[in-house]
Amino acid sequence: MDVHLTAEQILLRDSAAKFIAAAGPKVARASRGRPPSFAPGRLRQVGELGWLSMLVPSSADGPALGLTELALVLEQAGRGLVCEPIGLAIIATAALAQGHAPHPILRRAMRGDALVVPALQESAHDPLALRTQATGDRAPRLTGTKMSVCADGADGFLVSARGVDGPALYYVPRDGAGVSVATTPTVDGRTLATVELKDAPADLVPARQSSRSAVEALTDLALIALSAELLGVMEGAQELTLEYLRVRKQFGKPIGSFQALQHKAVDIYIKTETVRSLLYQVAAANDPYRIDPELAVAVKAKASEDALVVTQSCIQLHGAIGFTDEHDIGLYLKRAMLLSSLFGNAAAQRRRYIELTEMKV
Partner 1 sequence: MFRRDSPDEAAFRTEVRTWLEANLTPALRGRTNRPPPAELMPWYRTLSRKGWIAPHWPKKHGGMGATLNEQIIMTEELARVGAPQLPAQGLNHIGPILIEFGTEAQKVKHLPPITAGTVIWAQGYSEPGAGSDLASLTTRATLEGDHFVVQGQKIWTTWAHHSDWMFALVRTDPLAQPRLAGISFLLLDLHSPGTTIRPIRTIAGDDEFSEVFFDNVVVPKENLVGKLNDGWRIANTLLGHERLGTSNPQYALIALDRIKTMARASGVMADPAFQDRLAAASINVTALSALFSHAVELTNLQRSPGPEASMIKIFGSELLQSLNDLLIEAAGSQASLEKPITTDFGTVDVSTPFLQVRRATIYGGSSEIQRNIIARRVLNLPQ
Instruction: Report the C-alpha gap between 45 and 38 in whole angstroms.
Output: 12
For residue 135, list its beta bridge partners. Answer: 141
State the minimum distance, in angstroms, from the CB of residue 335 to partner 1.
22
Nearer to partner 1, 101 or 359 (CB): 359
- Bridge partners of 44, per DSSP, are none
> Which residue, among 345, 325, 309, has the nearest Cα to 237 in the 3D structure?
309
Q: Are 106 and 96 in contact (CB under 8 A)?
A: yes
Which stretches does DSSP call E strand in the chain? 116-119, 133-135, 141-149, 156-163, 166-173, 179-185, 191-201, 203-205, 249-250, 253-254
Q: For the CB of residue 279, give the shortest distance to partner 1 in the complex, in Å.
A: 8
CB of 356 to partner 1, least distance (A): 10
Q: In this complex, which beta carbon is closest to partner 1, that of residue 206 or of residue 269?
A: 269
Return the number of the residue (21 or 354) whose C-beta is nearest partner 1: 354
**Please, what is the minimum distance in Å from the beta carbon of residue 203 to partner 1?**
37
Smallest distance, Å, CB 212 to partner 1?
20
Residues that bind partner 1 (CB under 8 A): 1-4, 242, 245-246, 253-254, 256-257, 259, 262-263, 265-267, 269-270, 273-275, 277-278, 280-282, 284-285, 295, 298, 301-302, 305, 347, 350-351, 353-354, 357, 359-361
Least CB distance from residue 337 to partner 1, whole Å? 20
Rank residues 18 and 246 by Cβ distance to partner 1 and give the closer one: 246
Phi-psi region of 178 (alpha: psi -120 to 50; beta: other; left: phi over 0): left
Output 141 or 350, the one with its CB closest to partner 1: 350
SS3 content of the chain, % helix, strand, coil (to 5): 50, 15, 30
Burial class (CB in 10 A: 0-12, 13-18, 19+), 228: buried
Considering beta carbons, is residue 31 or 313 the nearer one to partner 1? 313
